[in-house]
Amino acid sequence: MKCRKCGEKASVHMRQHKLALCKEHYLEWVPEQTERFIKKYQMFTPAEKILVAVSGGKDSLGLWDILIRLGYQADGLYLGLGIDGGINYSHESQSLTEKFAAQHDLKLHIVDIEKEYGQPIPVLAEISHRGHGKPCAVCGLTKRHEMNRIARDLGYAVLATGHNLDDEAAVLFGNTLNWSSEYLLRQGPALPLADGLARKVKPLCRFYEREMTAYCVARGIEYIYEECPFAEGSQSIYYKELLNQLETTRPGAKLTFYLRFLEARKSGELFIEKDIERAHLHPCEKCGQPTSAPGMCSFCRTMEKVSSVPAS
Ligand code: Q46
Ligand code: ZN
Ligand code: ZN
């Protein structure tokens, strides 16, 4: 196949777009598309300061690289979760993130959860008895809380994450299977948030995972290949596999699934857009972040529980 732009040999074939491009034109196409999505979903402007949540994986490092190439003011935030899993996961991902920041002369904030809260994520999860033996519930809660906290404390207008289409389609699939209307209402490329919190955006939400891999390889970005060891056997991986099977026989199915959802939601065809969550939110008595729980938010309650248990 030949590159649609220059006629040279193509190196990336995107069946779902009926598009093939050479390496050079692929490296132009990805940021152009990203810019298009940023504008379409009104994510941010060049005047705003962006905080990119970086994990050392291909999506977040790829996102950071694209935003910088597009001329945006984007700093990084790395959360040290303290996960080893026999592969030194957190340590490796942190060094790759630091290396990327140093190579491009970028500002990177690092928050070490153990230093902040006394224990690494797997231990916090164990002590608090949340999440049925897996640290993911406490991990997700902590990541959300810390990203919001840092974005707010350091005055960032926007928090950007590297979620790609495969991630978004899997979440959508799960929420649809359960008809979780509250979650469906909250899912989207750009989420305006309650008072004092940064907007949350996902500029890569229309790129397939393999498109991000191709981008990072073509740009020579070194990223951590392994997933977090606790991701194994998760529901979201199972949904991704199912959607991949569908995609094999129907190229573009994932993209259509996600885009039609966004369209239907926007036009109000699916749900009556009620401001349900907002109506019940109030600031947490301890950290001030919005919560629907009475008194303290679930993060602060979890941490209270943890600090009341003597360390063994
Ligand atoms: S939640 Fe669970 Fe992830 Fe945290 S413990 Fe690892 S797999 S990193 S997206
Ligand atoms: Zn070309
Ligand atoms: Zn709180």
Instruction: Tell me which residue has tokens 């230093």.
Output: 115
pLDDT by position in tens, the chain (length 312): 999 999 999 999 999 899 999 999 999 999 999 999 999 999 999 999 999 999 999 999 999 999 999 999 999 999 999 999 899 999 999 999 999 999 999 999 999 999 999 999 999 999 998 888 899 999 999 999 999 999 999 999 999 999 999 999 999 999 999 998 888 888 999 988 766 678 999 999 999 999 999 999 999 999 999 999 999 889 999 999 999 999 999 999 999 999 999 998 888 777 655 555 455 788 999 999 988 888 999 999 999 988 877 655
**Strand-pair partners of 32:** none
Q: Do residues 72 and 66 lie in contact, with contact meaning Cβ atoms separated by under 8 Å? A: no
Q: What is the pLDDT of residues 18-35, one digit of tens each?
A: 999 999 999 999 999 999
Q: Say how far residue 62 (Cα) sits from the centre of its chain.
A: 12
Give Cβ neighbours of residue 264 (< 8 Å, ≥ 6 apart): 270
Substitution candidate for ligand 1 out of 83, 128, 228, 240 with most atoms within 8 A of CB: 228
Substitution candidate for ligand 1 out of 136, 141, 237 with most atoms within 8 A of CB: 136
Given this model, what pLDDT does residue 221 score? Answer: 98
Burial of 112 (0-12, 13-18, 19+ CB in 10 A): middle
Structure tokens that stand for 273 in this block: 């857009």
Atom 5 of ligand 1, nearest CA residue = 136
**Spacing, Cα 22 to ligand 2 middle (Å):** 4
Atom 7 of ligand 1, nearest CA residue = 231
d(CA 225, CA 243): 21
Given this model, what pLDDT does residue 280 score? Answer: 72
Given this model, what pLDDT does residue 109 score? Answer: 98
Give Cβ neighbours of residue 72 (< 8 Å, ≥ 6 apart): 44, 46, 50
Half-sphere exposure of 295 (CA within 13 A, CB side): 6
Q: Is 197 in the pocket of ligand 1 (CB under 6 A)?
A: no
Given this model, what pLDDT does residue 307 score? Answer: 82
Given this model, what pLDDT does residue 102 score? Answer: 98
Half-sphere exposure of 165 (CA within 13 A, CB side): 24
Given this model, what pLDDT does residue 143 score? Answer: 97
d(CA 199, CA 191): 6
Q: Is 96 in the pocket of ligand 1 (CB under 6 A)?
A: no
d(CA 17, CA 40): 19
Structure tokens that stand for 279 in this block: 């109506």
Q: Specify the pTM.
A: 0.93
Q: What is the pLDDT of residues 261-301, one digit of tens each?
A: 999 888 877 765 555 545 578 899 999 998 888 899 999 99
Atom number, ligand 1, closest to the C-alpha of residue 228 = 6
d(CA 237, CA 73): 33
Given this model, what pLDDT does residue 276 score? Answer: 53
Atom 2 of ligand 1, nearest CA residue = 136
Ligand nearest to the CA of 93: 1
Residue type, 173: F
From start to end of 44-187, where are the E strands? 49-53, 73-80, 108-112, 158-160
d(CA 26, CA 210): 13
